[in-house]
């Protein structure tokens, strides 16, 4: 008899997204959801089931913070401009 796969649980997905937005590490997020109903017991299964939620939350926070840095750089903030140029334009 094959093992029944775990469902994608929206309560877990919501906690993952909120935690990523708050800057919490993936290991801490996994540890905080492992006791929830329908939670994966292994890190590998956690990533398999919630990969899209993780990727979406990471993209969202990077877009949000990135736009702040770019707007600051465009506004004349030299530190923000240097950060952008070093990380995205290949300056060293």
Nearest to 6 by CA among 51, 42, 40, 56: 40
Per-residue pLDDT, 27: 96
Q: What is the 3-state secondary structure (H, E, C) of 35-74?
A: CCCCCCCCHHHHHHHHHHHHHHHHHHHHHHHHHHHHHHHH
* Interval 44-57: pLDDT, tens: 999 999 999 999 99
Angle at 91 between CA 87 and CA 92, to 5 degrees: 100
* Interval 24-77: pLDDT, tens: 999 999 999 999 999 999 999 999 999 999 999 999 999 999 999 999 999 999
**Angle, to 10 degrees, between the axis of helix 26-33 and the axis of helix 10-21?**
150
């Amino acid at each position: 008899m094959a093992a029944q796969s775990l469902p994608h649980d929206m309560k877990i997905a919501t906690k993952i997204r909120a935690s990523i937005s708050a800057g919490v590490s993936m290991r801490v997020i996994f540890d905080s959801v492992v006791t929830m109903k329908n939670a994966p017991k292994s890190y590998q299964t956690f990533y398999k089931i919630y990969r899209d939620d993780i990727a979406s939350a990471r993209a969202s926070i990077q877009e949000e913070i990135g736009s702040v840095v770019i707007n600051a750089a465009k506004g004349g903030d030299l530190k923000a401009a240097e950060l952008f140029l070093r990380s995205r334009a290949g300056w060293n």
